[in-house]
Chain A
Amino acid sequence: MLEQRFREILEAAPDAILQVDGEGRIIVLNRAAEDMFGYTREELLGQPVEVLIPEELRRRHDAHRMHYSQHPMTRAMGSGLTLEGVRKDGSRFPVEISLSPSHSPEGFRVTAIIRDTTERRLSEERLRRVQEEYTQRLAETNAELEMTNRELERANRLKTEFLASMSHELRTPLHTIIGFSELLAEELEGPLNEKQRRFVQHIHKDSLHLLELINDILDISKIEAGRLELRREAFDFAALVAESLASVRALAEAKSQVVEAELDVPTAVDADRLRIKQVLVNLLSNAIKFTPEGGRIRVEANVQDSSVAVSVSDNGIGIPAEEQEFIFDKFHQVGATTKGIREGTGLGLAITKRLVEEHGGTIRVESELQKGSTFVFTLPIAAG
């Protein structure tokens, strides 16, 4: 009864199971072994087990078997060896084999369980090919990206060169327009009537504005090309603020605004004086522009650790919360709420931010609609 059960298990096993005697002759095999090697049970019983392995290995296998009978031990499946089985028709297939020795009253026995690994090898091979293909595709994509990058860099350089040469070409006729309108306005060539004087002033004022736009475009192109060279020096920050306030005072007075400064900076800062003046004047002009008549504009500065924090605040129309993160972007102009004030390139704050960052500082804005805006930037203090 029990033996019947074992026989059923043996016959149902998907792996080939063989037992060989002390001389290496097959004495037991299951159905899977018949199917796997293409022999009938009758053909294999009593045959040396070597008929199932490649011819060139048979002699060596003999020796292996002798050695194994003297040092019998259980060998697990798939322990590192690539083995092959041979079918009756001579075809070969990859196998994994486990061996277990046993001693019966009839003598030494070895049980071998053999698994056909053809399918698994194929899967492994397919997996390897898929991996290779992906690696290859990844490499190709990387190469394409690199090429795109190079093209972008080249396009960017061409753009910068174009802007620089445009700037030169635009400044040449502006030289004539600004110069002659200024000359006419001086009335050295004869007096102008009131209308003529106004017309000339329009020309002069707008040509100067045009010059400002060209300068902004040139600045941003220089910064983007990494060609902005800072001339750092230690200078008196309070004097620079006074100078900046002086250069916007006329603008503020035209709108009856109060501009004041409260500085708590005993130290000199280490920066490009002209560029920092550009930053201050830009922030101050914006404040004046976006603050109604009679408003108040304030510059404050104080030392924080190894830097100076400078703030320019106003009580003007403010910046909508949803626009605050974009105001330092190029060509962004504050829209909806400031209709009629749009003028300029939309480059001022982008340039300001870059200039501050080139100095190793940061800039941020706090603003509330109808209450006002505060821009704060930092600058390193001069060493020593």
Chain B
Amino acid sequence: MKKVLVADDKAPGRELVRMVLEKSGYEVFEASDGEQALIEARSVHPDLIILDIHMPGLDGFGVIERLRKEPGFAATPIIALTASAMMGDRERAMAAGFTGYITKPIRLGALRAEVERLLA
């Protein structure tokens, strides 16, 4: 069973992703901020990480910057999940090392398709 880590400071946001992905047959782990995301990632070694960009303390950019420096996470697919829809945000995320980019509110079909594509 493939493992997915979801980091989002809002509990409903985490639960939504968990529900959708569990139904699709993934094992889902949660983190409620950037620091916790780092700890969880290092202990479970997920196959895919979904990172909210806006989190208090260490944000999504801070998390990916640290993870990408570690050999174990150099190639792990990491999806940015953000409620910001300004132009240029996607480019900035891709430049920071994200493999995918999904804006909130998510459409369930799009989330499933993106996860499936990256774990294929």
Contact = CB atoms under 8 A, between A and B. Distances in A.
A171 B83 contact: yes
A222 interface: yes
A175 B105 CA distance: 4
Interface string B80-103: 000111111000000000000001
B50 to A, nearest CB: 13
- Majority-rule SS of A interface residues: helix
- In this complex, the interface size class of chain A, counting residues with CB under 8 Å from chain B, is 20 to 34
Contacts of B83: 168-169, 171-172, 175
B57 interface: no
Nearest to A171: B83
Contact of A183 (B19, B88, B103, B104): B19
B104 A229 contact: no
A222 B16 contact: no
A179 B13 CA distance: 9
B105 A211 contact: yes
Contact of A182 (B87, B88, B107): B107
Nearest to A231: B87
B74 interface: no
Given A171-B104, A188-B23, A176 B16 contact: yes
A43 to B, nearest CB: 94
A176 B12 contact: yes
B52 to A, nearest CB: 10
Contacts of A175: 13, 16, 83, 104-106
* Residue of B54, B85, B106 contacting most chain A CB atoms (<10 Å): B85
20 contacts: A168-B54, A168-B85, A171-B83, A171-B104, A171-B105, A172-B104, A174-B104, A175-B106, A176-B13, A176-B105, A179-B105, A179-B106, A182-B107, A182-B108, A183-B16, A188-B23, A207-B105, A218-B86, A229-B87, A229-B88
